[in-house]
Amino acid sequence: MNKKEAQKRIEELKNITAYHAKKYYDDDNPEISDFEYDMLMLELRNLEKEYPDLITSDSLTQHVGGTVKEGFEKVEHEVPLQSLQDIFDYGELYAFDERTRKALSSESSEENLEENDEQLTLDNIKQDSNIDLKYVVETKIDGLSVSLEYKKGVFVRGATRGNGLVGEDITDNLKTIKNIPKKLKEPIDITVRGEVFIGKKEFEQMNFEREENEETLFANARNAAAGSLRQLDSSIAASRPLDIFIFNVQKCDSINFKSHIESLKYLEKIGFNVNPVKVLCKNIPEVIKEIEKIGDNREKLTFGIDGAVVKVDDLKQRELLGTTYKTPKWAIAYKYPPEQKATLLKDITFQVGRTGAITPMAILEPVKVAGSTISKTTLHNEDFIKEKDLRVGDTVLIQKAGDVIPEVVGVLKEKRTGKEVPFEMPKKCPVCGADAIREEGESAVRCIGIECPAKQYRNILHFASREAMNIKGLGDSIIEEFLNRNMISSIADLYNLKLEDIASLKKDGKKFAQNLIDSINESKNNEFYRLLNGLGIRHIGVKAAKQLAKKYKNIDAIQNASVADLLQIDDMGEIMAQSIYEFFSQEQTKDLIRKLKEHGINMRLEEKSIEDNRFEGKTFVLTGGLENYSRKEAEEIIENFGGKTSSSVSKNTSYVLAGEDSGSKLQKAQNLGITIINEEQFIEMIK
C-alpha cells in the first residue's frame, strides 16, 4: 500500500473506529464484537506506525474513547485513567519486554527523574538483560472503569473514566454497589481504580427477567454494567447486580508502596474487593504460562474477561518508564482471539417464551468451544437467520460471545452440497397451533393464543392483576404452584378451584384458601372493562379496554367487530384494531370466552346514568404530579363527569391539567394554544 492509499484507509479507519467507540463507550450499545473493533484498531495502529507523519490528534490511537454524558457533573482526574495498548500474540509480548528493558537501561531515562530524588537514579537499576524486572499478570475484567476517592477512609466521590482526563461523577450510583466499601478499615486518603461488572450468572438471570417483561435484552454484560452506572436515576443502578474489582492505587501520598503486588495486598487489607487473579512473574516465559492458564480457565471464572493484563511490578521502574498521552509504557493487554469451531446445523427448532415470543433455536452437532460443549444455541429471530443465510444442513462457525453465550457467527458456504433446507418461520405456534404474528416494526414473531401452555403463567398473572380482575392473594408463587401441581392449565380453571385444594398448599391454609376463593368469586362481578384488560390483548391496556366496553357494550359485539369498525373508536390505531380483531378470531379465544361465560363472568357493560355531565365532549391530558389525586383518580373523576382523557396533546385537546414537573406535553400545549389548568383550578371545576 502506497502512502496515498494508506492516507485514504487511515481516514476511513478513523471514522469507523470513532463511530464504534461512541456506540461502545457513550451509548453502551455496540454494533460489532470486541474482536472486530480490536482488529480495526490494530490495522489503524500499524498503518500509523508505517506512516507516522499521517498521525493526527483525532485518531483513537492518540486518546481514550468516551465522553462525559450530559446530566452528570464533570470530574477532572488528578491521575489520568489511561487505556492499555493491546497485543495479540506472544511475539509482541517479547517485544514489549525488550522495549521495557532497553528503556530502563538507557541514560535517556534520567530526563524523567526528579532532580531532588536521590533514590531514583539509574545506578539503582541493573543494566540490560540483567535488569531485575518482574511482571504482574491479572485478568482484564470486562466492565466499566471507575475511580473511587476516599478522604480519611470515607468514600466521597466516584467517577467514570470518560476520556481519561475528565469523567462523570456517578457517586450515587456507585454507592449502590455492596462491594464498594463506604468506609475503609483505616482512615486514609486514597484514590483507587477498579472495574464495575456484572457476573455471568447474574447477567443471564437479568436478561431472562427482561425477556419475561418484554424488555430489550442487553447485548453483553459489559454494556449492561456501563448502562446501569450511567443512568441519572440511581435506583436503576441499585436494581442491577453490579459488582466491582479494584486493580490499582491511583494516588496515596501517605504510603510509599514499592511494588504493585504490595499495594494490592494493602487494598485487600483495608476492605477493597481486589481483582482475584494477580500473579507475580519473574520473566516473560512465566508471564506466558499465566496468560495460558487464565485462557484455559476462562469458563470457570464467574465474571467475564476480555484479556490478560501484564504490568511492571516495581513502582520506581514504572516511574522511569513513564507514559504516552494515552497509554502507560509499563503495561500491556494481551487479547485472546475468540475460539471458533465448525459444526453441523442439524435442525432449527422453536422455543415459545412466556410472552408468546417464538425464538428459533439451532440444534448442533455437539462441539467443544472455549471449554464447554455446545449442542444448541439461540438464533434470535427471523432477521438474524436471513442475514446470515442459515439453512438446515449447513456447516456453521460457533464461538462464545463475551465468554458466556454461544453464538453462530457464520456459514461455511463452500461446504454446501445443495441438500440444505432454507429456513421459514412458522405461521402457527409450534406449541398450541394458534396464529403466529409478526407485527410491523418488530423482530419477534409471537403466538397470540390465549390458552397456549407456554404463555399460561404470564396470562394468569396478568388476568389476576390489580388493574385487571384484581384477584387478591393470587400472586406469582401461588400461580407457579397451581401450574406445577396441574391444578390449573388456563385462566378458566381458576373458577374450578376447590377450597380443600388451595388449603393443601399451605400449613393451616384454610383461611388463605377461603379468602382466595372469595376473591375469585367476587371477580365474576367485575366491571366489563376489567375482563377485557385481563385477557391480555396485545397493545390493549386499561384505557383502551374502557373504550371498547363503552363502544360495544358486550363481548359478543366486540367478537363480531371488523377492523374498520374498531378504527371508529377515538385514539384507536390500526395496530391496536388489528390486534383486537386477530385475538377474537382465534378458536382459543372463543373457547375461553365460552368457558368464562359458563362460570358466570360479567361480559357486558352496566350502563351508569351520568347525573352530572359537565365535561361531556371535553378531552383532558394530564401531565406532571398532582398533590391531592393520583393520575388514575383524576382520570376517573373526569370520566364520571362525562369527559375523557388522552395520553397525547393535539388540537382536539380541551384542557391540559399540569402538575409538578410537567414535561413536553405542557410545552406542546402552550405552542398549540390549549387551555392549561393547575390542580387548584381543576378542584374548582369539579366542585
Mean pLDDT of 325-335: 92
Using DSSP's 3-state secondary structure scheme, residue 333 falls into: strand
Using DSSP's 3-state secondary structure scheme, residue 134 falls into: coil
User: Where does residue 14 rank: exposed (0-12), middle (13-18), buried (19+ CB within 10 A)?
Assistant: middle
Domain ranges (residues) in the chain:
3-62, 86-111+122-334, 340-422, 448-598, 619-686
- CATH hierarchy code of domain 340-422: 2.40.50.140
Whole-number Cα distances in Å, 278 to 183, 261, 337: 24, 8, 21
- Sign of the alpha-carbon torsion through 200, 204, 210, 215: positive
| pLDDT reported for residue 610 | 56
| pLDDT reported for residue 216 | 74
Q: Is the pLDDT of residue 66 over 90?
A: no
* Distance from chain centroid for Cα 73: 24
Longest Cα separation, the chain? 99
Hey, which residues does 148 pair with through a beta bridge? 158, 192
Rounded Cα distance between 174 and 129, Å, is 44
Residue 362: name the closest of 390, 400, 401 by CA. 390
The string of pLDDT tens digits covering residues 3-57 is: 888 888 988 888 888 888 777 666 656 667 667 777 888 888 888 888 888 888 7
| pLDDT reported for residue 33 | 67
| pLDDT reported for residue 577 | 94
The string of pLDDT tens digits covering residues 93-111 is: 999 999 999 999 874 444 4
Hey, which residues does 437 pair with through a beta bridge? 446
Residue percentage of the chain with pLDDT more than 90: 59
Architecture of domain 3-62: Orthogonal Bundle (1.10)
Q: Which of 23-27, 284-288, 355-359, 543-547 has the highest mean pLDDT?
A: 284-288
| pLDDT reported for residue 661 | 80
Round the average pLDDT of the chain to a whole number and report it: 88
Q: Is the pLDDT of residue 217 over 90?
A: no
Q: Is the pLDDT of residue 490 over 90?
A: yes
- CATH hierarchy code of domain 619-686: 3.40.50.10190
> Pairing between strand 445-447 and 644-646?
unpaired
The string of pLDDT tens digits covering residues 626-676 is: 888 888 889 989 988 889 888 889 888 999 999 888 878 888 999 899 999
Is 140 an annotated catalytic residue?
Answer: yes
For domain 86-111+122-334, the CATH class is alpha beta
Looking at 113-127, 174-188, 546-560, 587-601, which range is the least confident one? 113-127
Q: Which of 108-122, 187-201, 209-223 has the highest mean pLDDT?
A: 187-201
Phi/psi at 294 (nearest 5 deg)?
-60, -45
User: For residues 528 and 548, is the Cβ–Cβ distance under 8 A?
Assistant: no
**Which cell numbers hold the place of 354?**
412466556
User: For residues 99 and 92, is the Cβ–Cβ distance under 8 A?
Assistant: no
User: For residues 236 and 170, is the Cβ–Cβ distance under 8 A?
Assistant: no
pTM of the predicted structure, to 2 decimals: 0.57
Residue percentage of the chain with pLDDT more than 70: 92
Residue type (1 letter), 477:
S
Determine which one of 140, 278, 311, 455 is catalytic: 140
Q: Between residues 310 and 31, which one has the greater pLDDT? A: 310
User: For residues 547 and 647, is the Cβ–Cβ distance under 8 A?
Assistant: no
| pLDDT reported for residue 675 | 94
Architecture of domain 448-598: Orthogonal Bundle (1.10)
Phi/psi at 31 (nearest 5 deg)?
-105, -15
The string of pLDDT tens digits covering residues 547-560 is: 999 899 999 999 99
Hey, which residues does 136 pair with through a beta bridge? 280, 311
